[in-house]
Homo-oligomer: A and B are copies of this chain.
Amino acid sequence: MTNKRSALVLIDLQKESNFGLDDMDSIIENTKKIIPAFREADIPVIYTRQINRVDGAGLSKGEPLNEDGTPYFYNAASDQIEIFDEIQPLDSDIVIDKYRWSAFYETSLDLMLKSLNVEHLYIAGVVTDGCLMTSVFDAYFRDYQINLIHDMCGASNEGAHQAAMLTMTNWVYNMKIFSTDELMKKLNGEAHQYFQADQVDQMQFTADTMQAKFNEITNPTSSTTV
């Protein structure tokens, strides 16, 4: 794999994000496995962290507060805002603190990516239907080609996770969807599989077909290439 023009972006893999998300253990396990492969390939690793100031400056509208007026979630004074121990950033990594769901909103992420000549974004994290999805759309608007690692993403509920994955597939053109294992193969220069839609808004679904459509994008078989 050429490591040129790529970066790995990990959205909000913070201790506090483990508020009952599905599959958090395997998300951490997969992330722990893939990070060394990116480092080996000399591809920058970037972490984001959701932060709310103790004094409430910069809070999103309607953000829940404690009785003393401090933010209920992602309080900057809590050690729960730190990245999970198993996947701690190195000093040389880039860590972007953010105050809104999207990792691009009033942060230096885009200027960092541009200075690193990044075209291809490998991205994952939580929650699929919130910070991850809004970051993916914002990356797409800025002309990055997106590569989603689906089993390193998670939500509090199966429906939101599946629907967000389908929605991104439909409206983020040129997006590729990898599993951790298949991406490991790619990073190792081996044959691998990923899903990419053939056409715009391809993954239309109803409640009845959502699971099957989701399976299509996460278990590519005939529709993928090596």
Chain A residues proximal to chain B, CB less than 8 Å: 44, 53, 55-64, 73, 92, 94, 98-102, 105-112, 114-116, 129-130, 133-134, 137, 140-145, 156-160, 162-164, 166-167, 170-171, 173-174, 200-201, 204-211
Contact = CB atoms under 8 A, between A and B. Distances in A.
Contact of A134 (B57, B63, B137, B145): B137
A16 B105 CA distance: 29
B171 A129 contact: yes
A205 B159 contact: yes
Nearest to A213: B159
Contact of A108 (B106, B116, B208, B210): B106
Main secondary structure of the interface of A (DSSP, over half): loop
A217 B168 CA distance: 23
A188 B9 CA distance: 45
A60 B133 CA distance: 17
Contact of A129 (B92, B105, B130, B167): B167
A164 B162 contact: no
A140 B64 contact: no
Contact of A160 (B56, B111, B204): B204
A107 to B, nearest CB: 6
